[in-house]
Amino acid sequence: MTELEQLILKTQEQALAEIQEIQDEQGFESAKAKFIGRKGALTALMSQMGSVPNQDKPAVGKMMNAAKQAIQKALDEQALKIKEQKEVQDALDLSLPGRKPKVGHKHPVSHVMDAAVAIFRRMGFIVADGPDIDTVWNNFDALNAPLDHPSRSPEDNFYFNLERGDDYLDRNTLLLRSQTSDVQIRTMMAQKPPVRIICPGRCYRRDTPDATHGMSFHQIEGLYVDKDVSLADLKGVLATFAREMFGDKTKIRFRPHHFPFTEPSVEADASCFICGGEGCRICKGSGWLEIGGAGIVNPAVFENVGYDPEEVSGFAFGLGIERLAMIRYSINDLRLLYDNDIRFLHQF
């Protein structure tokens, strides 16, 4: 091999090695200039062709061309490699902030329920539980509801098996409980006084859904049985609850009402926490917001569960959780709570 041929091969080798290292546009420009440009190394060798003996010229020329092509090919390949690397980098930009996973949160009803439970627990109430399906006895009879009480109507309740002949007045017939007051019965049947429980839970009524009614809703029931429990104790507990739930200045008022299981019975209102009692859109101008029913436990209920009404007295209350949630979050239609519209739920 002639000296020129060796130089060609060496140049080619050097070029290929350097091209491997190229990382950017500038690298290509200078490599091109250095090896195959007008003043490049290979071009310089080309000018020595004149001194090559004639019979060797074709072979050396061929070698020269092959070297030039190899270098060009290496440049092209490296360019492609860089381009692909860049594409991968662009697709995977590690400097971008991460995508935030959509994390859910508590439903407003659960939120208010938990808040209410926490308040009563601080006052010493224990959480009691009961099944959503209960007997007519627990839901009505033991709670002193007369057989002709309108709240027993099949049109207002979800009884089981009436179509198979079960009687909705039979104490063993099952229904989706229409109130959480059945847990009062279950608890008193199971333990001796004193009793201090709350029961957060779901209940069911055959109401046509509208802005303030659903087929199912949540209540938090409270029951306090001990010696010498009075209406003042009830008012104190509900006032404390209302202040913690709606703010320090909240007041409580009782309006006379009727429930079979309490005597006297009241409906409890909290002063409107928006207007402070002056009257606004939320309280519909009255200054008060109804939060639930309550009263002094009817002695007949104590007799039904085997407590001595001469010995003990007590109060009970039942608060509507959806109602509390609507008040607390200024929601004007209860159905919004159950539409499962993320845009709505995200606000809380």
Stretch that binds ligand PHE, among 11-19, 235-243, 274-282, 311-319 (CB under 6 A): 311-319
CA distance 182 to 199: 10
Q: What's the closest the beta carbon of residue 97 comes to ligand PHE, in angstroms? A: 50
Are 316 and 226 within 8 A, CB to CB? no
- Residue length of the chain: 348
What track of x and - describes contact with ligand PHE for positions 279 through 308 (by CB under 6 A)?
Answer: --------------xxx-------------
Q: Which residue is nearest to ligand PHE (CB)?
A: 318
Q: Give 11 or 144: the residue with its C-beta nearer to ligand PHE.
A: 144
Q: Give 221 or 337: the residue with its C-beta nearer to ligand PHE.
A: 221
Note whether 262 binds ligand PHE by CB under 6 A: yes
Q: What is the CA radius of gyration of the chain?
A: 43
- By CB under 6 A, name the one of 42, 75, 316, 326 that touches ligand PHE: 316
Are 229 and 122 within 8 A, CB to CB? no
| Residue 74 token pair | 């290496």
**Spatial CA neighbour of 183 closest among 309, 318, 22:** 318
CA distance 118 to 125: 9
| Residue 177 token pair | 């409980």
Q: Give 34 or 206: the residue with its C-beta nearer to ligand PHE.
A: 206
Q: What's the closest the beta carbon of residue 295 comes to ligand PHE, in angstroms? A: 5
Note whether 241 binds ligand PHE by CB under 6 A: no
Cβ neighbours of 95 (radius 10 Å): 4
Q: Give 277 or 318: the residue with its C-beta nearer to ligand PHE.
A: 318
For the segment 170-229, give every residue that binds ligand PHE (CB under 6 A).
179, 181, 221
CA distance 128 to 118: 14
| Residue 330 token pair | 């200024």
Q: What's the closest the beta carbon of residue 221 comes to ligand PHE, in angstroms? A: 6
Q: Residues in the site for ligand PHE, rule: CB under 6 A?
A: 179, 181, 221, 259, 262, 293-295, 316-318
